Chains A and B, each alone.
Chain A
Amino acid sequence: MTAQTGVTAALRRERVRVVSATVLRKLLSGVVVLWAAVTLTFFSVHLAPGDPVTLLMGENITPEFRAAVIADWQLDQPLWQQYLSHLLRIASGDLGTSFVQQQPVNAVLGARLWPTVALTAAAVVVAVGLAVAGALLTAGRPRWMVALPSTLELVLASVPSFWLGILLLTAFSFQFALFPVAGTEGVRALVLPALTLALPLAAVLSQVMRGGLERALEQPFAVTARSRGVSPWEVRTRHGLRHSLLPAVTLTGWAVGGLLNGTVITEQVFGRPGLGQATVQAVTQQDIPVVLAVVLLSVVFYVVVSTVVDLLYLLVDPRLRRSGT
């Protein structure tokens, strides 16, 4: 930053305005998506075949529970009133009661949150690390050098996560007892599940990032940098990488969905007591309130991540911080 304070201050004001407008717009559309998701799940219970009371009760079909379910969902009230109080309750952060497990849904899911958060975070870090390394090493290289990594990417992107997990288990837990077979004890229990989630994601990201990096390296600014004597590696890391991030960031919607789908399956493969496992149990036991809550949580996660990603866009690409773009 130089001494042209007036200009810089104006630029900074504009930047703050663009950033806050983006945040506001994203939050607003996030609220709309959340509202639609709550509405959809509420009416799906009423549209489902059969009596909503029986549906919500799950396995515990007794007269006392009937009364409890009717009271909890206000099923004796007119539909619009049920809907309103449902909306208000969820807005206040109360996800309802699991009649199968006889405790609040918040308690059921709260106990399962940490293993899933740890798994997802580890997977994202590993995937982004692998993808950046892969793209930096392979972009613009001769065909024969890229052939093997790109075949590997194609296979990894298509491998179903349950099989990848089983293969990793077979190799590293059973043939060589390097990692535990199941559970959440310690960091070592995290390695294989995180890899299972991360490898397919890394494969897709690195494909896209390589494309972005290759396009960036053909741009005039890359040629200029090279002619200034910047080393090829530095051209890649300092000038190209930023450009390769944009198309990768665009994939987030897909990636978030993939991660959440992946945790459900991965936790089942590795016996991790997380949200995914809780979901599968809830579907098996017909514990509808828990299923609804997990679905809503996943939408919240999606909204939060896509907001963060839009802000990342602004961070990665300064051109977008100016208004009128």
Chain B
Amino acid sequence: MIVLDRAGRAAARSQPAQRPRRRVRREQLPVLAASGVLVLVGAMALVPGAFTAADPILADPIATLRPPGAEHPFGTDLLGRDVWARVVHGARHSLFIGLTATVLALLVGVLLGLAAGVGHRYLDEFVSRVFDVLGAFPELLLALLFISLAGTGTANLIIAIGIAAAPRYGRVVRAETLAVRNAGYVEQAALLGIGAWARALRHVLPNALGTIPILATLGLGSAIISAAGLGFLGFGPQPPLPEWGSLLAEGRNYLRIGWWLGVFPGLAITVTVVATAVVGGHLQRRFERRNSL
């Protein structure tokens, strides 16, 4: 919460909290809007039926390629399926892949980063070099390499995106761990005879992970983009499942006759990703403000 200064409090007393509150609101407006978007997209993923009554997969040969209108807010595709329904139902696939890939990347990254940060010097050296080498691979190509070796499918897609993104988290966790491990309270824990792993888990980890929610929020956005990108290339959930990236790939071929096929699924991806960026940026600023106080 923002603490009111004296003038603000006086104003709040005389004019029931109007001026200061409006100022707070205006600053927070983008964050509120972005959180709203994320809640909305999350709701679409959980209960798509609440947003649309149309079937995302059933074809309707009478209503093919209708432009956006009252009946079909996002128009219909080549098979007469409602694009709004496909976008709403697609939220589930895109969010699920993005979220699970981020969780996987976090798990791998935190474990390796923590091991490198608290472990032996050689372990640190080894893990850091692994991060360096993986960092030299573009994430998409690393994911494609994994898919070409292990095969397509949603599980492999998630692992591919997760592994490709893990070094990003690992590097940060390692750096934070190194900063925390020499703190006074960790040294005291060592003096008290607490073992290395217990120290790492109970004392270093909680303090080194302060930035994780921020990284995870920002990482979720890029995981959603990776998922949609691989879906666009044809390595995601296969048609007729409505994944956002594959919706765009379908739309790409009919742009001449239906601009809406290319516009709306991409809008869904972009709005979601921008929302994660705004919320992540807000968390980051708040974290920095709290730490600088």
Contact = CB atoms under 8 A, between A and B. Distances in A.
Contact of A260 (B135, B140, B255, B269): B140
Interface stretch (A38-46, A82-90, A108-116, A226-234): A38-46
A286 interface: yes
A257 B168 CA distance: 13
A55 B255 contact: no
A166 to B, nearest CB: 4
Contacts of B127: none
Interface string B234-255: 1100000000010010011001
Contacts, number: 131
Interface stretch (A60-68, A121-129, A294-302, A316-324): A294-302
B135 A160 contact: no
A167 B133 contact: no
Interface in B252-293: 252, 255-256, 259, 262-263, 266-267, 269-270, 273-274, 277-278
A155 B270 CA distance: 8
Contacts of A269: 252
B146 to A, nearest CB: 8
B47 to A, nearest CB: 26
B263 A292 contact: no
Contacts of B140: 260-261, 264-265
A44 B141 CA distance: 14
B interface: dominant SS: helix
Nearest to A169: B255
Q: How large is the interface on A (under 10, 10 to 19, 20 to 34, 35 or more residues)?
A: 35 or more
B252 A302 contact: no
Contacts of A292: 145
Interface string A151-184: 0001101111111001101100111000000000
Interface string B21-39: 0000000000000000000
A278 to B, nearest CB: 12
B232 A162 contact: yes
A265 to B, nearest CB: 6
A160 B229 CA distance: 8
Contact of A33 (B132, B150, B235, B263): B132
Contacts of A160: 225, 228-229, 266, 269-270, 273
B133 A33 contact: yes
A299 B132 CA distance: 11
A307 interface: no
A37 interface: yes
A260 B270 contact: no
A167 B234 CA distance: 19
A6 to B, nearest CB: 42
Contact of B141 (A40, A279, A287): A279
A302 B136 contact: yes
A205 interface: no
Given A253-B135, A268-B232, A280-B233, A48 B144 contact: no
Interface in B133-189: 133, 135-142, 144-145, 147-150
Given A155-B270, A166-B262, A170-B259, A37 B136 contact: yes
Contacts of B132: 33
B231 to A, nearest CB: 9
A248 interface: no
A181 to B, nearest CB: 8
A291 B141 CA distance: 9
Given A160-B273, A302-B136, A260 B141 contact: yes
Given A160-B225, A162-B228, A269-B252, A37 B274 contact: no
A283 B234 CA distance: 10
A283 B156 CA distance: 14
A320 B256 CA distance: 54
6 contacts: A33-B132, A48-B150, A55-B149, A160-B228, A167-B266, A279-B144
Given A170-B255, A261-B229, A298-B141, 11 more contacts: A36-B133, A154-B274, A155-B274, A162-B232, A169-B255, A170-B262, A257-B139, A264-B233, A265-B140, A280-B233, A302-B137
Interface of B: 129, 132-133, 135-142, 144-145, 147-150, 221, 225, 228-229, 232-235, 245, 248, 251-252, 255-256, 259, 262-263, 266-267, 269-270, 273-274, 277-278
